[in-house]
A and B are shown apart, each in its own frame.
Chain A
Amino acid sequence: MSTDSLPANPPIKVDIWSDVQCPWCYIGKRKFEAGVERFGGAVDVEYHSFELAPDTPVDYEGSTRDYLSARKGLPAADVDRMLEHVTGIAASVGLDYDFDAVHQTNTVLAHQLLHHAKSKGLQAEMKERLLRAYFVEGAHVGRVADLADLAAEIGLDREDAVRALESGEHLAAVKADVAQAAAYGINGVPFYVIDGRYGISGAQDPAVFAQALDQVAAERADGASVPSGAGA
């Protein structure tokens, strides 16, 4: 279209650490997307793995309420109140969380699937599909067969996804993401690294993301307009 006449601004890279079972990550995703829309420029998003509870069994028996009560020693009524609060905030950004249906599980395979999808150019689609499956549909996102079904839904080859998950092909990439988060000092998610220089923690308002992206774009423009002394 008219892009030929626009200056060739490379997209701003945004690295996002998150976990599939992080309720604020899905809410933050919607807020970030709204921020990007407000920004209006090109953004290149890459999701990275962060395991909030790597010791959770794949087939955890019990509800989210049971899980949080057991892990945190909280009364069920308190947990219910918290989940209602999160559900309300999710609804405010258009997400219909159903904690009664959620299957608490281990997400290391889901993270490997995200890396597999990235290698096929479908990471964004896989991320959205996994989050919706977990929080909205009550699908299981910890087992190879269930994950492969979700992979096939977004256009990945099901058998290839099974192969990648069963072989642990992307496990090293997951662990590298976790190590990279530690290197940045990230201890909670969602966490956004913009242009490799700015960090944003948590499910911030869209305006925060838009402002940060505007700032990076402005700095790039300033840098481009300042003579470097190296010619050209």
Chain B
Amino acid sequence: MSDPEVVAVAASPLRMLGDAFVPVCVDDACIIPVPSNAGDDSRD
């Protein structure tokens, strides 16, 4: 009983809204995605 039971509810697919190129943090990197024709992600 020492390990907590992890229960995730089945999730319906989400319809995404908004701009795809906005700041977001993934793992420990916080980035501003940029369109592919502008080169690599600019990291922040």
Enumerate chain A interface residues (CB-CB to B < 8 A): 19, 22-25, 27-28, 52-53, 56, 67-68, 71-72, 74, 82-83, 85-86, 89, 168, 171-172, 175-176, 178-180, 182-185, 187-191, 193-194, 196-205, 208, 211-212, 215
Complex CA–CA separation, A161 to B43 (angstroms): 36
Residue-wise interface mask of B (9-44) relative to A, using a CB-CB cutoff of 8 A (1 in contact, 0 not)? 111101111111011111111100000000000011
Given A24-B30, A183-B10, the answer on whether A211 and B17 have CB atoms closer than 8 Å is yes
Complex CA–CA separation, A56 to B4 (angstroms): 21
Contact B18 A201 (CB under 8 A): yes
User: Tally of A-B residue pairs with Cβ under 8 A?
Assistant: 110
Tell which of B16, B23, B24 touches A198, judged by Cβ atoms closer than 8 Å.
B16
Contact A189 B7 (CB under 8 A): no
Contact B8 A208 (CB under 8 A): no
Contact A176 B6 (CB under 8 A): yes
CB neighbours of A175 from chain B (8 A): 4, 6
CB neighbours of B29 from chain A (8 A): 72
Tell which of B6, B28, B43 touches A179, judged by Cβ atoms closer than 8 Å.
B6
Complex CA–CA separation, A178 to B4 (angstroms): 13
Size bracket of the B interface: 20 to 34
CB neighbours of A68 from chain B (8 A): 28
**Interface residue SS majority, chain B:** loop
Considering only CB atoms, which chain B residue lies closest to A71 in the complex? B28
Contact A199 B15 (CB under 8 A): yes
Complex CA–CA separation, A118 to B31 (angstroms): 30
Contact B30 A179 (CB under 8 A): no
| Nearest-Cβ distance from residue A50 to partner chain B, whole angstroms | 9
| Nearest-Cβ distance from residue B22 to partner chain A, whole angstroms | 4
| Nearest-Cβ distance from residue B32 to partner chain A, whole angstroms | 9
Given A24-B24, A52-B27, A72-B29, the answer on whether A183 and B11 have CB atoms closer than 8 Å is yes
Q: Point out which of B10, B11, B24 has the most chain A C-beta atoms below 10 A from its C-beta.
A: B24
Complex CA–CA separation, A211 to B17 (angstroms): 9
Tell which of A67, A72, A86, A202 touches B24, judged by Cβ atoms closer than 8 Å.
A202
| Nearest-Cβ distance from residue A157 to partner chain B, whole angstroms | 23
Contact A86 B30 (CB under 8 A): yes
Complex CA–CA separation, A225 to B6 (angstroms): 40
| Nearest-Cβ distance from residue A188 to partner chain B, whole angstroms | 4
